Amino acid sequence: MNRFFLPVICIIVLFGSCRTPKDVAYFQGLGNLTEEQKESMNQVYNPKICIDDVLIINVTSPDRESAAPYNPPPYGYYKPGEAEIGISAETQNLYTYLVDEEGYINFPVLGHVKIAGLTINEANRMMEDKIRESLPKVLVNIQIANFKVGIFGEVAHSNLYYIKSIRVSVLDLIAMAGNLNINADRKNVWLIRDNNGDKEYIKMDLTDPELFASPYFYLQQNDMVIVNPNDAQKRNSRYSNENSFRLNIFTSVISVIATVFSTIALVKRDL
């Protein structure tokens, strides 16, 4: 009888250990969403320019000579008939603009311009309206040069990530970090957002499809994501620390005892 039940018990244990815990799966019930729920999750992403952002601003026009004063060197100041100078990483500091603590940039010809708090599209239109007073046909293109987000905790690669595209979601960031560890608490992920000095702390549940409808699904520049360990990992960590402490004590005691016995043996030999 025991010979029959032993293989059965082993098979049950094997399959039980291979089963994926429910809390590990992302966005559970995603296939059961109604069309109305899916529609509510559609979002328009419009990041806003913040203090300390570094902006690249290019002004173009059919009248290239008249547009040149609005572009800093080396991009703008070339003589008619000369080839445009290529932009490289070494020369980016010559045509970028830092948004100061009051939300202004110092732009050629226009002077101080308030730009913080505007979306990229709003800032483009505002700059175009100002420049059209002297240059009727103009197109302004603004980019955020230092768009970065960070993720730390139970992920494969905790790091700060500099993003060329400003459209990045929490899922994009997790993918960049090499996915969450198996011991990550997917229901206890925190987003820390800096709104020009005011901090927001948002708890996210990566097992809930409603996250797609959240205004925090898409990240803003300087967002930080913290992935906490689950309860099992916390217990294992505490157990490992306690065992390590006990092992150190045990090793120290053994070392002392060995030293004492060695000393006694040497004394007896000398006698």
Please indicate, yes or no, whether residues 156 and 115 belong to a single structural domain of this protein. no
Q: What pLDDT digit, counting tens, does each position of 11-65 carry? A: 444 444 444 456 678 778 777 778 777 777 777 778 889 899 999 999 999 998 8
pLDDT at 238: 58
At 3, the pLDDT band (50, 70, 90 cuts) reads low
Please indicate, yes or no, whether residues 188 and 107 belong to a single structural domain of this protein. no
Domain boundary among 84, 117, 144: 144
Q: What pLDDT digit, counting tens, does each position of 89-132 carry? A: 444 445 789 999 999 999 999 999 999 999 999 999 999 999 99
pLDDT at 246: 60
pLDDT at 128: 96
CA-CA-CA-CA torsion for 166, 167, 173, 179, nearest 10 degrees? -150
pTM here is: 0.66
pLDDT at 72: 76
At 153, the pLDDT band (50, 70, 90 cuts) reads very high
Q: Is residue 9 part of a domain?
A: no
Instruction: State which amino acid sits at residue 178.
Output: G
pLDDT at 14: 45
Please indicate, yes or no, whether residues 201 and 70 belong to a single structural domain of this protein. no
Percent of the chain past pLDDT 70, that is, above it, reads 72
Per the structure, how many domains does the chain have?
Answer: 2
In terms of Cβ atoms closer than 10 Å to its own Cβ (0-12, 13-18, 19+), residue 142 is: buried
Three-state secondary structure call for residue 212: helix
pLDDT at 250: 62
| Domain at 125, CATH number | 3.30.1950.10
Please indicate, yes or no, whether residues 120 and 183 belong to a single structural domain of this protein. no
Complete DSSP assignment for 76-137: S---TTSPPPPP-GGGGGGSEEE--TTSEEEETTTEEEE-TT-BHHHHHHHHHHHHTTT-SS
Tell me the average pLDDT of the chain. 79
Q: What pLDDT digit, counting tens, does each position of 224-271 carry? A: 999 999 877 667 665 555 555 565 666 666 776 777 667 776 666 666
Please indicate, yes or no, whether residues 220 and 100 belong to a single structural domain of this protein. no
> Buried (b) or exposed (e) across 7-26, using 16+ Cβ within 10 A?
eeeeeeeeeeeeeeeeeeee
pLDDT at 243: 57
Please indicate, yes or no, whether residues 106 and 162 belong to a single structural domain of this protein. no
pLDDT at 76: 44
Please indicate, yes or no, whether residues 174 and 154 belong to a single structural domain of this protein. yes
Q: Is residue 23 part of a domain?
A: no
Residue 40 to residue 213: CA distance in whole angstroms: 6
CA angle (65 as vertex; 62, 70 as ends), nearest 5 = 95
Q: Is residue 244 part of a domain?
A: no
224, two tokens: 């930080």
Strand pairing category for 139-144 and 54-60: antiparallel
Please indicate, yes or no, whether residues 41 and 162 belong to a single structural domain of this protein. yes
Q: What is the domain range of residue 203?
A: 35-45+147-233
| Domain at 211, CATH number | 3.10.560.10
> Buried (b) or exposed (e) across 60-80, using 16+ Cβ within 10 A?
ebeeeebbbebbbeebbebee
Helices (H), the chain: 2-18, 35-40, 64-67, 120-131, 170-176, 231-270
pLDDT at 84: 41
pLDDT at 156 over 70: yes
Q: What pLDDT digit, counting tens, does each position of 177-219 carry? A: 999 999 899 999 999 998 877 899 999 999 999 899 898 999 9
Q: Within 10 A of 174 (CB to CB), how many other CB atoms are there? A: 20
pLDDT at 2 over 70: no
pLDDT at 30: 73
97, two tokens: 């603009």
Q: Within 10 A of 186 (CB to CB), how many other CB atoms are there? A: 21
